Copies of this chain bind each other. A is one copy, B any other.
Amino acid sequence: MADVGDDERIALLRFVERFALVLREAGMAPMPARVLAYALADDADRYTAGDLARGLGVSPAAISGAVRQLVQVGLLVREREPGTRSDLYVLDDRDLWSRFMTAELASLHRFEEAVAGGLEVLGTERPGGRRLAETRDFMAFLHQELTDALARWPAERDRLAGERDGAPVPR
């Protein structure tokens, strides 16, 4: 029996599946979603590919592809400790969600490009073109708002952390 009990391990995996499901609904592939959820919720700071495979109970091959994708979008960082023969994957939790949102912003940028392409073809005079123009405006607006919000997050996070530690929630 593990130090925290097998029940907790099962509960952890249950949560991983649940959270991964939400991530999948948001467009992420199943295995990367599981790996991200697991690395987030389990207690270790760094994971080898083997840790992830054993922890999730899946084949090493599945991990390989998943971490590659996660590293590519910047949600996971690959590290290498000298004198060891395995890569370490680190969830940089201080900036994790900023990174996540940055990826979302890239997706938003693809939206804007697609709409701009449509506008070139359709013009802005006809009803369809006008709708497209408004769509472009909204995307640009949202892009700016999200960028601003993202810039505000670090301060907000520190404020929340300070509240917890220093002045135990005014209420």
Task: Give me the interface of A with B, judged by CB distance under 8 Å.
Answer: 8, 11-12, 14-15, 18-19, 21-22, 25-27, 40-45, 91, 93, 96-97, 101, 107, 110-111, 114-115, 117-118, 121-122, 126-129, 131-132, 134-135, 137-138, 141-142, 145-146, 149, 152-153, 156-157, 160
Copies of this chain in the oligomer: 2
In the A-B complex, the 8 residue pairs with the smallest Cβ-Cβ separation, listed nearest first, are A145-B149, A15-B118, A97-B138, A27-B27, A41-B128, A11-B121, A43-B127, A43-B128
Provided the pairs A41-B132, A122-B12, A122-B41 are in contact, do residues A141 and B127 lie with their beta carbons within 8 angstroms? no
B149-A19 in contact (CB<8A): no
Q: Are B42 and A128 in contact (CB under 8 A)?
A: yes
Q: Given A11-B122, A41-B118, A41-B122, list of 8 further CB < 8 A pairs? A: A19-B115, A40-B128, A40-B131, A41-B128, A41-B129, A96-B131, A96-B135, A145-B149
CB-based contact B145/A145 at 8 Å: yes
Would you call the interface of chain A mostly helix, strand, loop, or mixed?
Answer: helix
Are A135 and B25 interface neighbours, CB within 8 A?
Answer: no
Q: Which of A14, A131, A156 has the most CB of B within 10 A?
A: A131
